[in-house]
Chain A
Amino acid sequence: MEIDRIDGRTPNQLRPLACSQNILNRAHGSASWSQGETKVLAAVYGPKAGTKKNENPEKACIEVIWKQKTGQIGKLEKEYEMILKRTLQSICILTINPNTTTSVIVQVVNDDGALLPCAINASCAALVDAGIALKHLAVAVCCCLAETGYVILDPTKLEEQVKGEPMEHGIITSVTHGAMPVDDYLHCLERGRSASEKMSAFLRRSLQPKLPSDLSKAA
Chain B
Amino acid sequence: MENKSLSFVDQLAVSGDVVLNLSTMANQTIKLGGGLRQDCDAISVMKAGKLRFSKPNKYWVESSQKRYVPHAEDSVLGIVVDTKTDNFLIDIKGPALAFLPVLAFEGGTRRNIPKFEAGTLLYARVVKANPGMNPELSCTDASGKAAEYGPLKDGYSFECTTGLSRMLLSSLTCPVLDALGKKLSFEIAVGLNGRVWVNGASPSTVIIVANAIMNSESLSGVQQRIMVEKLLQKIQ
B97 within 8 A of A: yes
In chain A, residues 164-219, which have Cβ atoms closer than 8 Å to a Cβ of chain B?
A: 204, 207-213, 215-216, 218-219
User: Are A131 and B96 in contact, CB atoms less than 8 angstroms apart?
Assistant: no
Please choose the segment from B61-69, B120-128, B185-193, B205-213 that sits at the chain A interface, where 4 or more of its residues have CB less than 8 A away. B61-69
Minimum C-beta distance from A208 to chain B (A): 6
A14 within 8 A of B: no
User: Are A131 and B67 in contact, CB atoms less than 8 angstroms apart?
Assistant: yes
User: Are B167 and A212 in contact, CB atoms less than 8 angstroms apart?
Assistant: yes
User: Are A219 and B172 in contact, CB atoms less than 8 angstroms apart?
Assistant: yes
Chain A interface extent, by class = 20 to 34
Chain B interface extent, by class = 35 or more
A11 within 8 A of B: no
Please choose the segment from A62-70, A94-102, A105-113, A149-157 that sits at the chain B interface, where 4 or more of its residues have CB less than 8 A away. A94-102
Minimum C-beta distance from A58 to chain B (A): 9
The B interface is mostly helix, strand or loop, or mixed, namely: loop
A-B contact pairs, 24 of them (CB 8 A): A28-B66, A29-B66, A46-B67, A48-B95, A49-B97, A99-B96, A128-B47, A128-B48, A130-B65, A132-B47, A134-B46, A135-B44, A204-B14, A208-B12, A209-B49, A209-B64, A212-B163, A213-B220, A215-B175, A215-B221, A216-B172, A218-B175, A218-B222, A219-B172
In the complex, the 10 A-B pairs of residues with the closest C-beta atoms, listed nearest first: A136-B16, A131-B65, A218-B221, A134-B15, A133-B46, A47-B95, A97-B95, A213-B220, A100-B95, A218-B220
A residues with a Cβ closer than 8 A to B are 28-29, 46-49, 93, 96-100, 128, 130-137, 204, 207-213, 215-216, 218-219
